[in-house]
Structure 1
Amino acid sequence: MASTPELKLGQKLSEGKTKQIFELVDESGLVLVQSKDQITAGNAVRKDQMEGKAAIANKTTSCVFKLLQESGIKTAYVKQHSDTAFIAAHCEMIPIEWVCRRVATGSFLKRNPGVKEGFRFSPLKMEMFFKDDANNDPQWSEEQLLEAKFSLAGLTIGQCEVDIMNRSTVAIFEILEKSWATQNCTLVDMKIEFGVNVKTQEIVLADVIDNDSWRLWPAGDRSQQKDKQVYRDLKEVTPEAMQMVKRNFEWVSERVKLLLEHQAGGRVVVLMGSTSDVAHCEKIRKACTSYGIPCILRVTSAHKGPDETLRIKAEYEGDGIPTVFVAVAGRSNGLGPVMSGNTAYPVINCPPLTPDWGAQDVWSSLRMPSGLGCSTILSPEAAAQFAAQIFGLTDHLVWCKLRASMLNTWVSLKLADKKLQACSL
């Protein structure tokens, strides 16, 4: 590939069946991932040129990585550079394909005779395959991976790193599964790869995720499959057959853009009893923003102006936008109970407790009259998270952020434990 006007390409770092990786001379720590028009199956036993595949694959990968990054997953992806290439962080690749399965099909059935196609894995089925074309990518156990003692970019792959990749694979699959479900498509299985960022020594999702990477069944129907399995199943490769394969790939590349769109709008309306509670409320708003949820702050007192409180409530009930109300009232909390008794929308109490009377004040939020269902959460960040969990039931993008946050919390604890153990030795 010739150098583009925008980028000066250095040496070719690697080349696979469907892509090339180039060093970027003026961008330290970054590479260019250039897709090819080649499509392969069976470790390139079958391979053909499919005009336009590079652009289709690049478009799909870019959308998938944007979705994952916006959710909070750490990836090597930086940005799309052209129709057929994207820029990524330079990683030393861990030579393992992580395969995650929701539905039993394909090679799993051959390796596990007696299991019927369509068997649903709950929890997900995880498998690892060592990247070795000469030996047809043999399946590996966790013990084999640990005994290999891979050292990449200065990081030795031990139990901590294996656990992180395992957990990350599950989270990534679930995020994409949830997203594809909005298009009435079943994500059947998926393979991904990780690399070690040469600058940060972090394990990140790397390589590509395109229509070669998964099985995708619209309406859960295998006969409607839109993935590379269609190419694998061809008895004869004809121009007409390749056009059919290409149309399937194009269908996926168009639909994948829709995964970045919210399925349902929503908002959090924070009602505070006094402007003295603004700092507490701003924490709620900041946390809501991190989940992509609009948050509005209002001042009203159910004790001193119940008619105005109910008017504000009606204002947000009247436009049809799904709303969660958060009541922030110190001392005697009448705000949350009054709201809960007069709206069918969820109400969360989040009282700003003070050191002097906090223990007594909280009871006015906890001890509700019968018929009221408002919850009480003391942390402003946790109140926003609970609101996000409510919206996540209907908005996959909010759910994806919650799922990635769970993963990142787990990973931070894992790394902290590893660091502590290293200091103790």
Structure 2
Amino acid sequence: MNTKVGNLIYKGKAKDVYETEDDQKVIVKFRDDITAGDGAKKESLSEKGFYNSIISSKFFEVLEEAGVKTQYIELLEPSYMLSKKLEMIPLEVITRNIAAGSLLKRFPFEEKQEFEPPIIQIDYKNDEFHDPMLNEDIIIALGLATAEDLATIREITLKINSIVKNFLKERGILFPDFKIEFGRDSEGNIVLGDEISPDTCRFWDMKTWDVLDKDLFRKGESGVMDAYKTVASRILDEEDKKKWNLNI
């Protein structure tokens, strides 16, 4: 890895962000930690950071090719992603195509009910307040984003959903829901950040509806890394696999 890892800027539940010699770029390190229940449940799974970084970089590349601006620059090596430095907006933007997870606990939807158009939910990314759901008025009153910002975020989110959903459909994977985060770049543009991986998305096999994401860990089931590797094997082309010496 040619780029030097500098001082630690931020330590999250499963990723670290480091300075580089360029003050407009950072290195995001994907760790093997996996958490659930607002961090109450935590383990370390060998190679999780490795696969999450490769999967996320692939999705970022697909989105960039389709015209969606992201913080992604390149994957320096598995687990280490070179990214544009963003001022993160403390919002978690959740898009739901199929009813699953916490949505079923909060609202009287039927399990696996499909949504067209998709539901967009925004939560406050704040551990102290346990990531509560927000509406537009509260977001604006807290000074987290403007009405114009939120319209931009919604437009980009729907575009991301369409691109990734179609990309996965061609590879036999359903896309029930996903969480993404945004930040502002040095010019003030709203840009997709964080990651798109089995940690932040639900992926189901299109034929069997088998779970291929972190839900397995949430439910205490086995095969978490097998599921992550299955996602990688389906979305990566042969050139990607050869580049990272993957036998999947």
User: What's the TM-score once normalised by structure 2's chain length?
Assistant: 0.92
- Counterpart CA distance in 1 for 2:154 and 2:120 is 8
Q: Who is 2:123 aligned against?
A: 129
Residue of structure 2 in register with 1:204 after alignment: 191
* Higher share of residues assigned helix: 1
1:259 CA displacement:
11
Task: State the alpha-carbon separation in 2 of the partners of residues 128 and 259 from structure 1.
Answer: 36
Query: How much has 1:258 moved relative to structure 2?
Result: 4.3
Q: Is the 8 A contact 1:37 1:54 kept in 2?
A: yes
Alignment pair present for 1:20 and 2:16:
yes
1:100 to 86, 95, 111: 95
Residues 145 and 110 from structure 1, CA distance in 2 versus in 1: closer, same or farther, beyond 3 angstroms? Answer: same
Say whether 1:252 aligns with 2:231: yes
**SS state of the match for residue 9, structure 1?**
coil
Deviation at 1:254, TM superposition (A): 1.8
Pairwise CA distance, 1:183: 1.3
Residue 216 (structure 2) pairs with residue 233 (structure 1): no
Map 1:4-403; keep pairs closer than 5 Å.
6-25=2-21, 27-112=22-107, 114-150=108-144, 157-197=145-185, 199-219=186-206, 221-222=208-209, 224-234=210-220, 241=222, 244-258=223-237
Instruction: Give secondary structure in 2 for the equivalent of 1:17.
Output: coil
**Distance apart, 1:7 and its partner CA:** 2.2
SS in 1 for 2:3: coil
Give the greater-gyration-radius structure (CA).
1
- Structure-1-length-normalised TM-score: 0.55
Q: Distance in 2 between matches of 1:256 and 1:95?
A: 29
CA distance in 2, matches of 1:255, 1:179: 10
Displacement after TM superposition at 1:137 (Å)? 0.9
Tell me, yes or no, if the aligned pair for 1:184 and 1:219 is still in contact at 8 Å: yes
> 1:58·1:85 contact (CA, 8 Å) conserved in 2?
yes
Q: Deviation string for 1:193-252 (max 9, x for gaps)?
A: 00011x221110001111111111111644x111110111116xxxxx3xx111111111
Q: Which structure 1 residue ranges, 5 or more long, are not aligned? A: 151-156, 236-240, 262-425
Give deviations 1:248-267, integer Å, cap 9, x for gaps.
11111221214999xxxxxx
Report the counterpart of residue 243 of structure 2 in structure 1. Answer: none
Higher RCO (C-alpha under 8 Å, 6+ residues apart): 2
Q: Give % identity.
A: 28
Q: Deviations over 1:151-202 (max 9, x none)?
A: xxxxxx31111100011111101110000000121100011000011x2211
Alpha-carbon spacing, 1:196–1:260, altered in 2? closer, same or farther (3 Å): farther
Measure, in 2, the Cα distance between the counterparts of 1:218 and 1:169.
23
Instruction: For 2:227, give the aligned amino acid.
Output: N
Q: CA separation in 1, counterparts of 2:123 and 2:235?
A: 27
In the alignment, the residues of structure 1 paired with residue 4 and residue 17 of structure 2 have an alpha-carbon distance, to the nearest angstrom, of 13
**1:18–1:39 CA contact under 8 A, matched in 2:** yes
Asked if the contact 1:103–1:189 (Cα under 8 Å) also holds between the matched residues in 2, the reply is yes
3-state DSSP of counterpart to 1:75: coil
Unaligned runs of 5+ in 2: 241-248
Larger strand percent: 2
Cα deviation, 1:263-289, whole Å, max 9, x if unaligned, reads xxxxxxxxxxxxxxxxxxxxxxxxxxx
